[in-house]
Each structure stands twice: as C-alpha cells, then as structure tokens.
Chains A and B, each alone.
Chain A
C-alpha cells in the first residue's frame, strides 16, 4: 500500500466519523444562532414574523437610542436586566455559601461515607427539574409547609407571603443548582494541601487570616468554576421565576418568552436574547483571562 492511498483512507475514515455530526451541528446549532442574530436586526412584522428591513431600534428600545418614530425607549427593560443580574449574582453567592462548608466536611469523611455523601448530592441532579421546583411551591405558599412550621413555632402569628418574591426565586434556584456548585468546589477542596494550612498556623496566623490568605485562594479555581456554571443558567432562567415568582417578579427569561409566545414580537425577543448571550460571553471572556493568568501564577502558588 502506498503512503498516499493510506493517507486517503485515513481521510475517508475521518470524513465518515466527523461528517454526519458536522452537518448536523451546522444545520441545527450554528444556523439557528446566526439566523437569530440576523433576526434581532429586522423590523417586527405586523402579525408576528419579521420584515427584511435593517432595524436597530430593537436594541434602541432596550438601550436608549430608539428612533422615536418607530419604537419607544423604555427603561423598564434595563431594570429587568439589572434585576435578573442581581438575582443571578445573589443565587451564585447563596449557592456558594451553602456548598462551601459542606464540601470541607465531606472531604474529611472516611472514604466510604464520602462516596455515599457524593452519591446523595448528585442524585437529585438526575430527578426532574420541574418536579424539584414544584415541591417548593407546596413549601412556600401561604398554606404551605414553611408557614405551618413558622406559625406552630410562634415565629409569626399569621401566615406570611413567601412565594412570588425574589427570595422564593433565589431559594428555588439554589435548590436546583446545588450539584453544579458543589462538585467543582469539592474538587478544589479535595486537592487542598493541608500542610500549607498547618504551616500558616505555625507561623502565627489566626483562623481568619489562614482562611483568607491560604485556604480561600487555593480553592478559588473551584469557586470560580462553580460560580460560572451556576450564573449562566440563572441569568436567562424563565422556569424558576414562572413557577415561584408568579407574575410579580419578572426576569429576562420571562420577558423573552412573552415576546415569543405572547406579544409575538420575535425580533425584539431575539434582541433580548442577544443581551443574555452578550452577558454570558463577557463572563466567559473574563474566566478565560483568569485561567490564563492563573497558569502564569501557578509556579508561585506551588
């Protein structure tokens, strides 16, 4: 067999393995995203759909440069964006607060118990998301479990409104995203070199200094990784606010859904979705920068 025919055969193998998937992803992944990007610059049609006219006012409506002949700039959209950003950030912080101490405890268990604990944490990830959210409706509603406990402990005298608040949305998101945060954080904690912690204590650092100057920086990669994996689905979420926020607390995801299934202004909905994409890309950009810098610093840390 000559080299060139061998080369040709390898090329054929590569084509057979890679061809179908490439075609599939080009049609059903890349193509829709490009079309959506184009759509966000088109004029909304009268009865849904879009007209083939360049129309930056979809973005103008959100960001404040709309031509008043066509669209009205309304600061409510920025307000919803900022609220979504705030809820997503609070969710990240709360999930971290819930997972971080538990990761330390579990990393120090004997290995049999450790594996069982990890199993218990990953298990709910496989259960239906909508079922896990629905449970919180029953817990948080006015006649729900939380109010039953609160009134029987005489913490409150009459049932309080817990559901349909930003707090309810955060609780629901934290509950759903725990495995996303726990596993990266745990991976970092597990790798932590405890001799450095002891060295810090021997050199006279107090508990807080040891945590802030030694333990936290060493586990930072897991913290940042987990934060990003939680932040991305939290920002554009529309299921959690639809179930636990009701009509009272609207997030970007609900606004986008409304444009597509209610108001039928698809180009505007696409522009809002591009806003979510932009935020996600910005976060990923900073993450890659952070990773690159950490690569440079790594020898110093070790």
Chain B
C-alpha cells in the first residue's frame, strides 16, 4: 500500500512536470527559432541569425526577395501605433466608467441594482463573435464609417465590465469603519470620498486599468469585425499574416510581443503581491 502511494506521488509529480512542459515548450521553441537562419523551413535549424529582427526594425532588406513578407516595416509599425492608440483611449474610458459604476454600486442602494450587476457581467459571458457582429450591424446601420473610433467604442463595451469587476472586488474588501470614523470626525461626503475611499480603491483601479490595457491590445475577434478594411491593429495584422502563409519574420515579432506582455504582466503581478 505504501509503495503504491509512492508510485502515485511520483506519477502526479511527473504529470505536473509534463503540464508545465506543455505550457512552456512552445514558447521556448518560438523564441529559439526566431534566431534560425533558414528562410524556408522555420523548424530546420541552419545557423544563428539576427536577420529577422533587423528586418522588423527596417535595418536590413537583403535577405532573398521571396522570403520577405512584411511588405514594409511601415505596415507593422502602423498596426502597432493603431493598437497603442486604441488601448490608450479604451483604457482611459473603461477605467473611468468601470470605476464610477463600481463606486455607485458600492455606495448606494437603489432600485435596479441587481439589473446593473447582470448587465455588467453579461459582456464577459457573451461569446466574442456575437458581440462582434452585433456591433458591426449597429455601426453600419448607424452610418458610422468603420475605423479607430468604432474599435474604441466597441472594445469599451466589454472592457468596462473587467474594470468594474476588479474595482468591485477591491471595494468589497475595504474597511467600512474608516468611512464611519471619517464621517464621525466631521468630514463631508466629498472629503471622505477623496481621502478615504479613493486611496483604498486605487490598487484595484490600477489593476483594472492594466487588465483593460492588456485585453485591448490583444483583442482580435471583436476588433476584427468592426475595424474596417484600412485599419489594422497588431493582432489583426498577425492574423492576416497567418492566413496568407507564414514567413520567418513572424517568429521575431511573436518573440517581441511575448517579451512585452510578460514584462507588463510580471510587473502587475509583482505590484499586486507587494500590496498584499
């Protein structure tokens, strides 16, 4: 019986190693192969090179013409610029609206409070494609031309929910006695709000904003339907590349994107763990 249990323990441990290998081996592979010199078969190692990185940054265009995929670095940079513009606006709007809603539902009791909770959870449970096409029909029907503006409005329609949930969770864990103390000491509502509630809610607001930023930068499905033909964001640019056929530069782009999101996520998780 004892040895049988040992087999179980070792088995479970081995399984967990496999589990992490499954998650991280692909990521290691893509980073490694972004330095592979072979332009035709990306999985056939034929020497170390920085060429693909140089190509992304427009430093080198001398690799054989048919291996080139990014017609111009300009397209890639343009997609990146669009993504950052959209994310800056959506993060701001969603953070303000989401935080205000969370505060309203925390501070006040009113008729229809339950309805608001359902309304704010609904976008997260809605399949992306349904919201995407609903927004497409809506914008086209309203005569709005598709572009950055529609992407920003469309993304905010579900990002508000994410901010709301993160901030609400923070508010729920707050110490209500501080508020009462502040009122007892003669502070008016505005002072209490500014000096007591807001500072305590701040980590939640920052966390919500960070989450909104990351999701906005990464959103593919909803953006895909409401972006129009001329406006590409980074995920849509890569999706387009995949559909036309894969060329080696994409490994380097993917590596840089992974590096960037891991850095942002690590920073966010680090701050969260420090604040307890």
Taking beta carbons and an 8 Å cutoff, which residues of A are in contact with B? 10, 13-14, 16-18, 20-21, 24-25, 28-33, 35-36, 39, 98-99, 101-102, 104-106, 115, 117, 119-132, 134-139, 143-145, 148, 175, 178, 232-233, 235-239, 242-243, 253, 256-257, 260-261, 266, 269-270, 273, 276-277, 280, 284
Given A35-B141, A138-B30, list of 6 further CB < 8 A pairs? A17-B103, A35-B137, A127-B258, A128-B261, A143-B41, A238-B129
Contacts of B238 in A (CB 8 A): 128, 130-131, 134
Distance, CA A167 to CA B34, complexed state (A): 26
Give the contacting residue for A135; candidates B30, B138, B153; CB below 8 A: B30
* A14 touches which of B20, B98, B110, B160 (Cβ 8 Å): B110
| Contact call A17/B239, Cβ cutoff below 8 A | no
Question: Beyond A14-B104, A101-B16, A131-B257, is A260–B43 a contact (Cβ under 8 Å)?
Answer: no
A105, A238, A273: the one within 8 Å of B221 (CB): A238
| Pairwise interchain contact B221-A239, C-beta atoms closer than 8 A | yes
Is residue B59 contacting chain A, with contact meaning CB distance below 8 A? no
Q: Let me know if A126 and B262 touch, CB within 8 A.
A: yes
Do A25 and B157 touch across chains, with their CB atoms under 8 A apart? yes
B86 part of interface (Cβ distance < 8 Å): no
Q: How far is the CA of A242 from the CA of B251 in the complex (A)?
A: 19
Residue numbers of B with Cβ under 8 A of A are 12-13, 15-16, 19-20, 22-24, 26-27, 29-30, 33, 41-44, 96-98, 100-101, 103-104, 107-108, 110, 116, 119-120, 122-123, 125-131, 133-138, 141, 153-154, 156-158, 160, 189, 214, 217-218, 220-221, 225, 234-235, 238-239, 242-243, 246, 250-251, 254, 257-258, 261-262, 264-266, 269, 273
- Which residues of chain B are near A117, meaning CB under 8 Å? 20
Q: Chain A interface secondary structure, helix, strand, loop or mixed?
A: helix
B130 engages A276 (CB within 8 Å): yes
- Give chain B residues whose Cβ lies under 8 Å from the Cβ of A35: 134, 137-138, 141
Decide yes or no: A31 and B138 within 8 Å by CB, A17-B104, A127-B262, A145-B29 being known contacts.
Answer: yes
Bound CA span A200–B123, Å: 43
The answer to whether B100 touches A33 (Cβ under 8 A) is: no
Find out whether the CB atom of B23 lies under 8 angstroms from the CB atom of A260: no
Report which residue of B100, B101, B108, B130 has the largest number of chain A beta carbons within 10 angstroms of its beta carbon.
B130
Judging by beta carbons under 8 Å apart, are A138 and B23 in contact?
no
In contact, A28 and B154 (Cβ under 8 angstroms):
yes
Is there contact, CB below 8 Å, between B127 and A280?
Answer: yes
Could you say which of B29, B96, B108, B225 contacts A10, with CB atoms under 8 Å apart?
A: B108
Which residues of A are found within 8 Å of B33, using beta-carbon distances?
138
Contacts of B116 in A (CB 8 A): 18
Docked-complex contact B257 and A102, CB < 8 angstroms: no
